Every structure is written in structure tokens, then in C-alpha cells.
Amino acid sequence: MNTTSLKLFQGIGRYGVLLALLALIVFGWLRYENFLGAFNVLSVLRYNSMFALVALGMCFVIITGGIDLSVGSTAALGSVVAALLSPYGVLPGLLGGLAAGLAIGACNALIITRLAILPFIATLATMLAASGCALLLAGNQSVSVSYESGFTELGQGDFLGFPIPAWIALFAYLLGSLILNLTAFGRTVLAIGGNEDAARLMGLPANQVKALVYLASGGLAGLAGVILAAQFGAGQPIEGVGWELFAIAAVVVGGTLLTGGVGSVGSTLAGVLLLGLIFNILNFENGLGWISLSAYWQSVIRGAFLLLVVAIQARLSMRTEEAA
Amino acid sequence: MGMKAPRGPLMAETATTLPPTQRAPRVDVRTMLTRHGAWIALALLILVNFALTPNFATWQTLNVNLTQVCTIVIVGVGMTLVIATGGIDLSVGALMAIAGALAPLIFLGKLFPLPHPAIGIALAFVIPVVVAGALGWFNGWLVTRLRIQPIIATLVLFIAGRGIAQVFTNGNLQVFNLPSFQFIGLGRVFGVPFQAILMIFIVALAAWMLRRTVFGRQILAIGGNERAARLAGIPVASVKQRVYLISGLLSGIAGLIVIARNSAADANLVGLGMELDAIAAVAVGGTLLTGGRATVIGTLVGALIIQLVRYTLLANGVPDAAALAAKAVIIVLAVWLQRQSHR
Amino acid sequence: MAPLLTMHGIDKRFAGIPALRAAELVVERGEVHALIGQNGAGKSTMIKILTGYYRKDAGEILFDDNPVEFSSPQEAQKAGISTIYQEINLVPYRSVTENICLGREKRRFGLLDWPAMHAEARSLLARFKIDIDVHRPLMVYPTAVQQMVAIARAIGFEARLVIMDEPTSSLDEREVRVLFGVIRQLKEAGVSVIFVSHKLDELYAVCDRVTIMRDGRTVQVAPITQLSRLDLVTSMLGRELTQVLQESHDANLSNRDGREPVLEVRNLAAGRKVRDVSFEVGSGEIVGLAGLLGAGRTESVRAVFGADRPDSGTIAFAGRENAIAAPSDAIQAGMGFCSEDRKLEGIIPDMSVRENLTLALMPQLSRRGIVDETRSREIVDRFIKRLGIRCSGPEQRIRELSGGNQQKVLLARWLCMNPKLLILDEPTRGIDVGAKAEILGLIRELAGQGLGVLMISSELEEVVEAASRIFVLRDGYTAAELTGEALNERSVMAAMAHGHEGAPGAAHG
């Protein structure tokens, strides 16, 4: 076994994304005034916290070797439910959105573990269903949230000078990291993705754990929907298109293997921020006035990043395979 | 018979308790449902519509429904082939957007000066489709040479592709009125939309290819058992690359149809969500999602079923959103039935 | 004291085909019990029934004097039965500690107590004299260490019965000695061990008693010291020495002399299992490759066919040396290969008989990429008739055919290419008696027409009868070449059991 390439392989997964993120931050800091100013930093964090939540759920799902395409429309559904319940207060809105997400997650869990349908197809179907429900509930338009109940604080407010959605995301990531690293459940998630048959033969409850992972992914997407509604003042039934694939990209850029079994919550967050910063830097670059790159470049650059990461992963895993 | 040998003892046991004739019908209904379920569903849908929906049996209804499924089916044909090898192509919608963005740039002369408008129109058909095909081949290259899983390999272009199209056009809507180009989306031959004829032609060609050519056999062999195919001397990598290439070409054609139909190219919207529609049509049509068994005509039927369900619901006053939920149920049901028959 | 484990009258059928017929297995407390038999003899099925992986059709299992029927490996593990599977069933990306401790984690305040788990993993591995960094992923360590980790995991569960399914297949000599040390420790601690292996030396080194299985039945149970190696092999392969056919091979022999070799393999090495293998096949000759499981037979022929890459050595086929880099090269040069695993590497289950049969021929059957259906049908009809393939027609799906008929289709896949050499890996496995005879007859007929055949078979009787020459492989080396007078089951068994030195002599002794 060629241990150097293996080390490199894991190093890139764990530290490559952090290094890239750091490099991007230094680049921005040197090049643009106010890049590290409180306003910019906080708004980047506020905006990206929704994606971070969705990516966290996706991270767990991908580690088990599955995929969840329904997160985008689940977030949309969550935002609509939260907006509809927002007149009754912060808590009903929050819990409503969360419950909607959990419901979709439960559907995924049932279809995947009971009917034994591929995660790809199962979540494709629930994606349509969630989207349909969102449109039905919203009557095909965005639903304004109530500004009296204080619900919008969830998206727009600050706590200790830090955006509330960022607090929520931070808390979720800490909890996620704790679960993945310090509980038997988390280690089982990793074992299932590494080798599901082996995990079963080791006597680990593979089906229950998988079900819980999809449930969690749904719940987190619902939560992201709540923040979406609170931040933009409306439940948006057609928002969330393509979120699932961006979340997958963030997870993969973060070094989580799509074949499952390897992954880290922290580098997923770094992946989200990396992809998010690309947008931010484009804005600054245009602000300088030297060049005018349209915002559309961001997806091109994101795609290029994804390609780079998977190509490196593929090369290294091919080499380790040959060395083995 | 010799072929029944391994099941001999079992059969003998059941034969003593149950006359074989009593078992046969139940088995038949089941195979019927699983094997021809898509056709039966389509027939039922049409019958229900004759009874329920006013003005269903008209030329116009047919045309409306056909044009609605055209692009889905054309892209779905490529998707069927990709899935038949055991892969998937998420980039189809983005490739449609690229083709759709390129064509107007070419015939409006924004990309390079045109010696003659007719040449512009000819190039506007050829270049976008070739570019989409090349990008499709790139997907195949990632899958076979770098051994990246198809879902991730094609995710790259899913994300970057639409961005490329938007960068080309700066995100602007390109409006045009050019009947000779738009024939592909708006033209009619003997009253039948040209795009429907094109669709039927592509479906027929692909169905024939899958059944009659070496390439078609190789696709199915790879999806059915890649290791056996390799041991039988089939050039697995080259076949897969060609399949992704075809998927790219067909996406390019579909992109042109969409912009021709709309008299406008909007890189933000052309082909949006197409990958999922196409996969749904393939799944409902009875193609095995793990590869090895594929039916191009089934994909056509699958797309028609999804469209007809939506049409039926809409025509009878059910909101479009509920039709989405119905689609979800159809997909799960179709795949579940498929699994049952495959056990 | 009553035995720890008694499995009595175990029956098991898969899709109507009996895999076990009234099989027996009795393991005493604190003994190391060898369970041996050929592939398909029922050892694995027996073990999987014990550990709750399969459900038995009939019979009873007493464990520690209580009747048991486990519904999953977890349950068996809880009751004190730990299994180490042949393929290492661990999670390669995860750390050594996780692989040892998952499923019985140590906790503090509800969270995992990593320091305690690392310590436990270290102390378990210390019993094997292994000192490694338990934080690192399992995959960075050599296979032997991974195997030890698997064993440490099994023992860590405080098992009372440890099942080891070919645990030494990836270990070197020193590691095997360490493992045997551990097995003796276990034995002293009163733990029983079921030891499955095909390496006869090992059985004598560590086992107390042996159960030999054949065709789903228990054929012999005895203290290992009472049986000679030859007895073991004979019993496994199911032929009494007195019954060994001393068929003359004069006919075959006279055919062979003066023929050009079609295939010549010299000093082939490939992967772990093929160290130094040499053999040759002449045109019109049937050559057998014999050896116990794991001797490197399949791996050798895969390298010849270009399916795996050889590390060194020469392969000369049809006059050209080392010209085969991929199966397609081999096929073009005139070679055909029927893999031992029909399902995994042979048939395309959803395709018809016709499509399966013409799979390799297709490029030649087509003009401008379009398959010539008429010719294809002609050829398929001809081969269906010629090989007597029983199917409802050429369009029937191959998965619906019996094993024997599937095998005939795969043979036809190559025969229709007019090959110079056909490699058959276990051509009669899982096939009923009638079809077996047909296929063997066919192979002989083809060789008579000039085809070179290289045949691997675990059914000794079959190879001895068909082949004019047999190369016996043992642990990755060519141990003996047997022809003429020396070619009988007894000498082959002797070569398989003892290897090079004692090949013919030991058989007479």
C-alpha cells in the first residue's frame, strides 16, 4: 500500500478545502477593502446559513452512500409552512417548517428502507411531491410572513452581534460533528457507507440508522426553509430548485467521498463557505470596476471547482487502488 | 423440460396440492402488469379521458400533448441509453441551455460575421448540437477514464453548464423571429408538428439501434453485466463514451426545439429540471434503472403517461401542484412494480 | 460434559436444490475443530445457518445444551458465536479501533469514550503481538494485519465459539504461527474454534478433530491424527482409493505427440496467488489444471486471458509472446474463456439465448454495425441443435435456463468464433449429472477436431478422465505435471496433498 498517496488523499479531503478557503479569504482581504469588514462577513454568513443546513443533512446522507435530491423542494415547503404559521408566533413558524421537513424525510426513509427503492429515485419522487405540496399550500405564489410576530428575527435578527441563522447553523454543525464523532450512531453512519454488508455482519442496525439519516436531512432542509422565509419575508414555493445539487457539490468539495464511508462535518461547512465566497468575491471584483464578470460566472467557477476536486479524488483513489 | 430441472422438486411439491392450471392465471396477471404495465396505464388513461374530459378526442388535444412531451422524450431517449449502461446523465438540462444560447448568437451574427443568412441558420443547427455532443462526450470521458461515478461526473456540467450559457448571453433574453430556424419547433408537416415527427423519428431510430445494431447490444450487455461484457471482448469504455455523446447531441437538439418554440432563448430557463423529467419518463417507461434492460418506446410511453396524468388533472380542474404529487406517486409505483417483477 | 455445539440433521434447499442433506457437526468444549470439503460441499451454508444468516429447513441446533435458532448474525454474536469471514468484512476507511469496537462501544456520559476504546483495541491486538497505530484507517495496513484485526474483533466479543473461515489465506508463515498461538490461547481459555481451511498442513498443526463434508453431507468425523493427508483429500473428493479408475490414456497420448503447443506459459507470476506457474497446451489436446482451492488455478488462467495483469513470466499464444493486454486481444488471437462464475462473469441475465450466444461474435456478424439477423439466427439455431441446448427458443431469456444449458450457451459463445484455445474454469459446476456428461463429451469431440482445451475442475474424476495431461498447482507453484501412466486420481491427489517432492512416490506409500 502506497501510504504517501493515501495520506495525500485524506489530507486533501480534510485540509485541502480548508486551505483553499483560507487562500480565498486572504486573496479577498488583500484585494478588496471591507472584504473582512463586519458587514460583509456577517451578510455572507447570514445568507449561506441556509445552504449550510441543507449541506449538513446531505453530508450525513452521502456518508451512508446514499443521496437526497428532495432537500431543495423540502426547504421550499418548509418556508411556505413557516410563513403560513408565522402569524401565530416564532415558535409555531419554526416548528411548522421543521415538521414539514421531517415529514418529507420520513417519506424518504420509508420508501428507501421499506420498499427498497434506490435513494436516487425515492428522493426524486418526494422532491416532486414536496414541491407540489408547497405550491398547493401557497396557492402558487409566495406567502408573506407576518412581521408583527417577530418571526422574521429568525432570519434577519442578530444575537450577540451575530446573525441568528448563523447561530442556528453553527449549533447544528457542532451537534452534527459531535454526533458523527462521539456517538455510536455517528460511527455506524460511517461504517454503513464504508461497507454496508460488513456493517450488517458486524451486527450494526443499518436500516434504522439509514432511516434516521434521511429523517435528519429532511428536518434540516425544513429548518433551512424556515430561515429562507424569515430572511426574505416570504415563503417561497418555487425556491430551492437546484439546492440539492449545490449541496452535493459542497459536500464533495469538502472531501466527502460520494461512494460513502469517509466524510467530515467541518469540511462540509468549509465547502459551503468556499462555494459561497466565490459569489461574494465576484461581486467585489465587479465593484472594483476593472473587469465586469457577471454573477453567472459563479456557477461556472463552482463547476470547475467540483471538477478539480473529483478529478484529484479519482486520480488518488485509482493510485491507491493500484498500490493496494 | 430440461430448463425446469433446478426447480423440479419445488414444482413437484406444489403440483400435488394445486393443479397447475389454477396457478397459471395469477402469474399471468402479474407478469402482464409488470411487463406491460406502462401500456396498460396509458390505455386506461386515454379511456378515462374519453369518458371524463370534454373535447378530448380532438386533433388539437393530441397536438398539445405531443408537443408537451417532445423535448422530454428526445432527451429521455439519450437518458434511456445512458441508464441502460448503468449510468445517469444530470447534465442534459444544462446542455440544452448551452445549445439554446448558442444558436441565436450564431444566426443573429453576434458570434462571428455571417456571409449569408442561410449559412447562419445551417450553422445555428449544427454548431450548438455538436458542442452539446462534445460536452456529452466529456461526461463519458470523466466516467470511463477518471472512473468518476456518473452522477458526480455529470453534476459538474449540471452546475457549470447553465452558467456557461448564461455567460454567453450575459443572462439576457434573446428574442428573435426567424421562421426558417423556428421550423424545428413551430413548423408543421401535414398538420403534424414537425417536432413531433422529429421525436418519433428519433425514438424509432434509437429503438431500432438498440435492437438491431452491435452498438445497441453492447450497451445492454454492459448494463446487464459489465464484467461479463468485458470478458466477451466488448470495448466498455468506448461504448460508454459514445452513449454520453449521444445524450449530449440529443440534449442539444431539444435545446434548439425549446428556443424555437418560444421565439426566445433564456439561458436561465431552457431545460430547467429536464434531467429529472427525463429520468422520470425513463423510470415509468420500464427501463431498469440499474441498467441492462431498456426500452426507448417505453420512455415515450412513460413521458406520455406523466403528461396525460397532468393533462387529465388539469382539464378536470385539479391544480397543477397536485399533479406534481401524482407524478411522484407514479414514479414510486412504477419502480416498485419493476422491483417486484425482478425478484 | 455435553458438547458445546451440536448441529444435527440439518437440511437446506436453495430454490429447490438441496445444499445440505442431514448434515452433522459436533464441536466439543475447548477444541479446535476443522471443517473441510470442496467448494459447494456445504461448509459455508452450514456456518451461515449456525450464525443466523440463513434459516434451516430441518434439523436442530444445540448450543450450550439449549436449542437455538438465531435470526441474525447479531443474535449469534450476543449468544457468544463470533465469525471471521473469508473476505475481510470490515470497513476499510474507518480506524482500527472502530473496526474492533463498533457494536460494543464504550461510553462515558452517553458519548463515545475514545481513549478507552483505543486502549481496548491496543490490548486485544497485543495478544497477536501486533503494535500499530489504532487511530489510522484500516486500509493503510497490509491484508494480514487487517485479518488479525478481524480476528481481534471476533475475540473481543468474549466469544465461546469462534468460527474462522480460511483465516490464513492472506497471512504469511510468521503470521500464521502467531495466529496459531492465539488459537491455542483460546483453546486453553476454554473457547472452541471451528477452523475452515484448505491447507492441509495447517489442519494438522492446530486442529483436534475434523469434519469432512461432501455434497451437502457429513461424510467423516475423526480425530485429525487418525487420518493421513491422502485420507483427507480422498474423503473430500469422494473417491475411495480402491475405486480409483486406472483408465488408460493411450488414445489421448498418441494424439498429442508431435503437436505444436498452442499456449505456453512459463514462470507466470500474478498477484498474491500466482507465484511461479508453468504449463502448456497443444492443439487438439485437453489439459487439466488441478489443485486445491486457492492454489492459483483461476488466477493463472485469468492472467493468460488478459483479464488480470501478470507481474512477470511469459505467455506465448499462437506463436506470439506476451501480446495479450486485454480480453479483447485474447479473443482476437483466438482464445475463449468460460469463467467459473457463470452468474457474475458469464451470462447477461436479461438478454436472450441468441444475444448471449453471439455476444463475442457480434462484430463479425454485422455489416456497418448492423447485426445480420439472418446469419445470427442460422448460427444460433445450429449451435442450439449441435450442443443440444434446451430452451423454448433462441429468444428465451438466458436467466430462465438451467445451469447446464446456460453453460452450453456460454460454450457456444466461444465455439462460434472458431477459437484455437478454449479455457474452461469449472465448466461443470452447479450442473446436473446428465448435462455434465454432455458437456464433457462435447469438449472431447471438439478437441478431436483440433481445439486446444485448458480445463480447471475441482472434480478430479472429471479432469482425469478428460485430460491427457494434468498440471497440478499448489500454493501458487506448479507442483507436478502428470501424463501417461502417472495420470490417475491417486497421483493427482497425492500431488495436491504433498506437492512436488512426494508426488508419485507418496501415493504408492
Mind listing the pLDDT tens digit of every residue in chain C (509 residues)?
789 999 999 999 876 677 899 999 999 999 999 998 876 678 888 998 998 888 899 999 999 989 999 888 778 888 889 888 766 678 888 889 988 888 777 777 778 888 889 998 998 888 877 888 888 888 888 777 888 888 888 888 778 899 988 887 767 777 788 888 888 888 888 899 999 887 777 888 899 999 999 888 899 999 999 988 878 878 887 654 434 333 333 344 444 455 678 899 999 998 878 889 999 998 889 999 988 777 888 899 999 999 888 899 989 998 888 888 889 899 989 999 998 888 888 999 888 999 999 999 888 888 888 888 888 899 999 999 888 888 888 888 888 887 788 888 999 999 998 899 999 998 887 776 667 778 888 888 888 888 999 999 877 778 888 888 999 988 888 888 888 878 888 888 888 877 544 333 333 33
Q: Is B83 on the interface with C (CB under 8 A)?
A: no
Q: In what helix (H) or strand (E) does residue C426 lie, and over which residues does it extend? A: none
Is residue C262 within 8 Å of residue C281, measured between CB atoms?
yes
Q: Is C98 on the interface with A (CB under 8 A)?
A: yes
> If you average pLDDT over every residue of chain A, what do you get?
85
Strand C421-425 relative to strand C452-456, pairing:
parallel
How far apart are the C-alpha atoms of C40 and C50, rounded to whole Å? 17
Cβ B213–C370 below 8 Å, yes or no?
yes
pLDDT of residue A235: 87
Q: Which residue of C13, C305, C348 is in closest CB contact with B225?
A: C348
Kindly report the pTM of this predicted structure. Answer: 0.80
- Please tell me which residue of chain C has the smallest CA distance to A321: C139
pLDDT of residue C301: 92
Q: pLDDT digits over B53-110, tens only?
A: 777 778 888 888 888 899 999 999 999 999 999 999 999 999 999 999 999 998 888 8
**Of B146, B153, B154, which Cα lies nearest the Cα of B95?**
B154
Cβ B225–C17 below 8 Å, yes or no?
no
Which residues of A have a CB under 8 Å from any CB of C? 1, 3, 6, 10, 178, 181-184, 187-188, 190-191, 194-195, 197-204, 257, 261-262, 320, 324
DSSP string, B96-109: HHHHHHHHHHHHTT
Q: Report ipTM (2 d.p.).
A: 0.78
As a whole-number percent, the residues of chain B with pLDDT over 70 amount to: 89
Q: What is the CATH number of domain A3-323?
A: 1.10.3470
Q: Is C141 on the interface with A (CB under 8 A)?
A: yes
Q: Does residue B292 have a pLDDT over 90?
A: no
pLDDT of residue B168: 86
pLDDT of residue B148: 86
Chains sharing 3 or more CB pairs under 8 A with chain B: A, C
- Give chain C's radius of gyration (CA, Å): 25
Q: Which residues of chain A make contact with B166, given a CB cutoff of 8 A? A: 294, 296, 299
Q: pLDDT digits over B195-243, tens only?
A: 999 999 999 999 999 988 999 999 999 999 999 999 999 999 999 999 9
The SS3 call for residue B110 is coil
Q: Which residues of chain A make contact with C77, given a CB cutoff of 8 A? A: 203
A13–chain C nearest CA distance, Å: 13
Looking at this protein, which amino acid is placed at residue A25?
I
Strand C421-425 relative to strand C335-338, pairing:
parallel
Is residue C506 within 8 Å of residue C498, measured between CB atoms?
yes
Q: B–C: how many Cβ contacts below 8 A?
A: 111
The β-bridge partners of C163 are: C83, C194
pLDDT of residue B22: 38
Domains C5-240 and C249-334+419-509 agree in fold: yes
Q: pLDDT digits over A269-298, tens only?
A: 988 998 888 888 888 877 776 666 667 787
The set of cell numbers assigned to C2 is: 455435553
C251 vs A16, which has greater pLDDT?
Answer: A16
Q: Is A316 on the interface with B (CB under 8 A)?
A: no
Q: Mean pLDDT throughout B170-180?
A: 86
**A-interface mutation test, from C85, C140, C145, C272, most A Cβ less than 10 A away:** C140
User: Looking at the domain covering C249-334+419-509, what would its CATH class be?
Assistant: alpha beta
Is residue C70 within 8 Å of residue A156, measured between CB atoms?
no
What are the residues whose beta carbons fall under 8 Å from the beta carbon of A87, sequence distance 6 or more?
A146, A148, A149
- Please tell me which residue of chain B has the smallest CA distance to A301: B160
Is residue C398 within 8 Å of residue C351, measured between CB atoms?
yes
C490 vs B299, which has greater pLDDT?
Answer: B299
* C5-240 carries CATH number 3.40.50.300: yes
A221 vs C1, which has greater pLDDT?
Answer: A221
The set of cell numbers assigned to B55 is: 373535447
Is residue B181 within 8 Å of residue B271, measured between CB atoms?
no
Chains sharing 3 or more CB pairs under 8 A with chain C: A, B
The set of cell numbers assigned to A51 is: 445552504
Q: End-to-end CA distance of chain B, in Å?
A: 23
pLDDT of residue B180: 86
Give me the half-sphere count of Cα atoms (radius 13 Å) on the Cβ side of residue C52.
21
C71–chain B nearest CA distance, Å: 22
How far apart are the C-alpha atoms of A251 and C6, rounded to whole Å? 51
The domain limits of chain C are 5-240, 249-334+419-509, 344-418
Cell 466461444 belongs to C414
Is residue C89 within 8 Å of residue A201, measured between CB atoms?
yes
How would you write chain A as a 3-class SS string?
CCHHHHHHHHHHHHHHHHHHHHHHHHHHHHHCCCCCCHHHHHHHHHHHHHHHHHHHHHHHHHHCCCCCCCHHHHHHHHHHHHHHHHHHCHHHHHHHHHHHHHHHHHHHHHHHHCCCCCHHHHHHHHHHHHHHHHHHHHCCCCEECCCCCCCCHHHHCEECCEEHHHHHHHHHHHHHHHHHHHCHHHHHHHHHHHCHHHHHHCCCCHHHHHHHHHHHHHHHHHHHHHHHHHHHCEECCCCCCCHHHHHHHHHHHCCCCCCCCCCCHHHHHHHHHHHHHHHHHHHHHHHHCCCCCCCCHHHHHHHHHHHHHHHHHHHHHHHHHHHC
How far apart are the C-alpha atoms of A130 and A239, rounded to whole Å? 12
Planar angle of CA B298, B302, B303, nearest 5 degrees: 120
pLDDT of residue A9: 55
How far apart are the C-alpha atoms of A220 and A298, rounded to whole Å? 25
What are the C-alpha distances in Å from C149 to residues A111, A199, A324, C91, C153?
36, 15, 18, 11, 6
What are the C-alpha distances in Å from C391 to residues A281, B247, C18, C226?
67, 37, 24, 50
**Of C232, C327, C277, which Cα lies nearest the Cα of C475?**
C277
How would you write B36-49 as a 3-class SS string?
HHHHHHHHHHHHHH
Residue C123's Cβ-count burial label (10 Å; 0-12, 13-18, 19+) is: exposed
How far apart are the C-alpha atoms of B228 and C240, rounded to whole Å? 38
The SS3 call for residue C198 is coil
Q: Which residues of chain C make contact with B234, given a CB cutoff of 8 A? A: 328, 359
How far apart are the C-alpha atoms of C87 and B208, rounded to whole Å? 44
pLDDT of residue C365: 85
Q: Mean pLDDT throughout B158-182?
A: 87
The domain limits of chain B are 56-271
Which phi and psi angles does A12 have, rounded to 5°?
Answer: -65, -40
pLDDT of residue B312: 86
pLDDT of residue A292: 65
The SS3 call for residue C366 is strand
**Of B222, B94, B115, which Cα lies nearest the Cα of B160?**
B94
Q: pLDDT digits over A44-97, tens only?
A: 898 899 999 999 999 999 999 899 999 999 999 999 999 999 989 889 999 999
C48 vs B31, which has greater pLDDT?
Answer: C48
Q: Which residues of chain A make contact with C81, given a CB cutoff of 8 A? A: none
Q: Mean pLDDT throughout B47-51?
A: 85
